Amino acid sequence: MGDKPRILITGFRPFPGAPYNPTEKLVDRLLRLRRPMFDDIECIGHIFPVTYTAVDRELPALIASHRPDALLMFGLATRTPFVRIETRARNTVTQLWPDAEHAQVRSRTIVAGSDSTRRFGPHTFKLLRAAQQTGIDARASLSAGYYLCNYLSWRAIEATRARHDSERREPTKVGPRIASFVHVPLVPRGTAERRAGSPSRVTFEQLVDAGEAMLVEIAALASRAGLRN
């Protein structure tokens, strides 16, 4: 795998009620950035369909195939005009809104008998600071919602825990060392929308700048975590 920290950057496709999801375009832009500092980072991108089965099928496959050191995940929060750095995932899932495959959830919990919440870890505040230093309105969040963003967050934290719990027994265990989830607002697609007015105080280019700063930070964190192990 080499010495470069490997980062899996993910977004979501459009979903019912959101025909445009800027995370697709954001992931693409971050993958195409050319900076000297990125010579020491290996990035892989992936866009999830907004379905529970897709997350359960594709996340483990991506981890097994690419063996990322860190996950940097983006999702859309249509009603929030600023960037939210999620600090935890909750063991809950909505029964009100079906996913893009119109699948209804039968259980109100993701994992029966498990913790009520799982935290990403203190590194989330370093990502928050990195984003804020670009000038964007970014804030820490205590709730990733009840939908696919929270579900992916839970499964990602689960993957980091699985690695940490088994590293002593299986030094070659695959899985991310750290994970973070970032909710972005519904930014305008172009100049015309900005002229018409938008509830978001954030532009897409600002998202790219903040995403770049968080990518650099999470890569450094993953690299340091690897050196300690």
Specify the CATH number for the domain of residue 178.
3.40.630.20
Q: Is residue 51 part of a domain?
A: yes
Range of the domain at 66: 6-228
Q: Is residue 123 part of a domain?
A: yes
Report the distance separating Cα 180 and Cα 123, nearest Å. 8
Q: Is residue 58 part of a domain?
A: yes
pLDDT at 1: 44
Report the distance separating Cα 29 and Cα 205, nearest Å. 10
pLDDT at 38: 83
Question: Would you say the pTM of this structure is higher than 0.85?
Answer: yes
Q: Is residue 66 part of a domain?
A: yes
Question: Mean pLDDT of successive 10-residue segments in the chain (229 residues)?
Answer: 83 92 97 87 96 96 96 96 97 81 80 91 97 97 94 96 59 78 90 50 94 96 71
Report the distance separating Cα 224 and Cα 229, nearest Å. 9
Q: Is residue 89 part of a domain?
A: yes
Domain count, the chain: 1
Closest CA to 190 of 25, 48, 77: 25
Task: Scan for tokens 């996340």, then name that residue.
Answer: 59
- 139's tokens: 């804030």
Report the distance separating Cα 80 and Cα 134, nearest Å. 19
Q: Is residue 1 part of a domain?
A: no
